[in-house]
A and B are shown apart, each in its own frame.
Chain A
Amino acid sequence: MDLQQGVYLYCVVSSTTILEQGKNGVGDAPTFLLVWQELALVCSDFPSKQFEINEENVLRHEQVVESFMEVTGVLPVRLGTILPSIEAARQFLKTRYDWLISNLTRLVGKVEYTVRAMTTQVDLHKQVNCLLVQQDNFSGKDYLYLKRQLLAPFAALEQILMQNAVAIVKDVAHVGSIVSYAFLVDRAKMECFERNCRKIEREFPDFKFLITGPWPIYSFIEPYNQ
């Protein structure tokens, strides 16, 4: 195996994970495990100097991560991460061992769902936007009141979904008209969570939803502090 050009990283798993043969990754290269104590880095040889972001490479990356997700806890690595050598990859595991172990232990047995919620209450949005333009004609109190009105349904649907989730991250866009959520859900609660997804669709007719999952856990990895 020529490793002179680099090592492509997919995810971090427990060292007890068994690598299923035939799981090829980016560039159709065979995947392998690089083990350090209780952790293993899922990698493949990367003979090219340039990583191209295209549909095939994105799907290859994700398919490898998800094949491990089926059988064990995974910490996915950002797409297109290539280290210069096996030694650099081993060094990565050594220097960040405690951080990786802590994240893996915390997230094992959990999955992530994405929920994008979009309100169709255009009038309320127009009202808020008009007031934003004519700032002299309304008070901060008025604005906050309208904003609260606008966000109240989002808060209500969050509450329903959180009944079967353990954590949430959200990203508000367009003055609250679209909110993207990531929910961290125990595998044992997946069915209940999905049931509540259907419930919010019924109970919030003024919303459109786009819900995907279960995903590997991308959004709940604690940042690394050197």
Chain B
Amino acid sequence: MVEIYADIPFPNNRDVSLLDLLDKVLDKGIVIAGDLTIAVADVDLIYLGLRLVLTSVENLESCQIRMVK
């Protein structure tokens, strides 16, 4: 699993890393669009919601994000 450097108190650390992961896997990498695929229809809508969550990272000041390695 990906190494996380932020020591945000549990469970936020896990949540933030999962959001970071989602930010990548839902929008990036090889994207096969069009009729070829049969099951990515709902992804965009969910991703939109996640972006809203991610922007609230600005409010994480109180979590004292810092590198630990």
Residues of A in contact with B (beta carbons under 8 Å apart): 6, 9, 11-12, 46, 49-51, 53, 55, 58-59, 61-63, 66, 75-84, 88, 92, 100, 114, 116, 118, 120, 173-174, 177-178, 194, 197-198, 201, 208-216, 218-219, 221
Q: Which residues of A contact B40 (CB under 8 A)?
A: 51, 78, 80-82
Contact status B38-A79, CB under 8 Å: no
Please report the C-alpha to C-alpha distance between residue A114 and residue B17 in the assembled complex, in whole angstroms: 11
Residues of B in contact with A (beta carbons under 8 Å apart): 1-6, 16-18, 20-32, 36-40, 42-43, 46, 55, 57-58, 60-61, 65-67, 69
Specify which of B29, B46, B58 is in contact with A78 (CB 8 Å cutoff). Answer: B29
Please report the C-alpha to C-alpha distance between residue A50 and residue B43 in the assembled complex, in whole angstroms: 12
Contact status A62-B36, CB under 8 Å: no
Q: Which residues of A contact B16 (CB under 8 A)?
A: 210
A to B CB contacts below 8 Å, 22 in the list: A46-B39, A55-B18, A58-B21, A61-B25, A62-B1, A76-B30, A78-B25, A78-B28, A78-B31, A78-B32, A79-B43, A80-B26, A81-B39, A118-B60, A173-B55, A174-B58, A197-B67, A201-B67, A208-B60, A208-B65, A210-B60, A212-B5
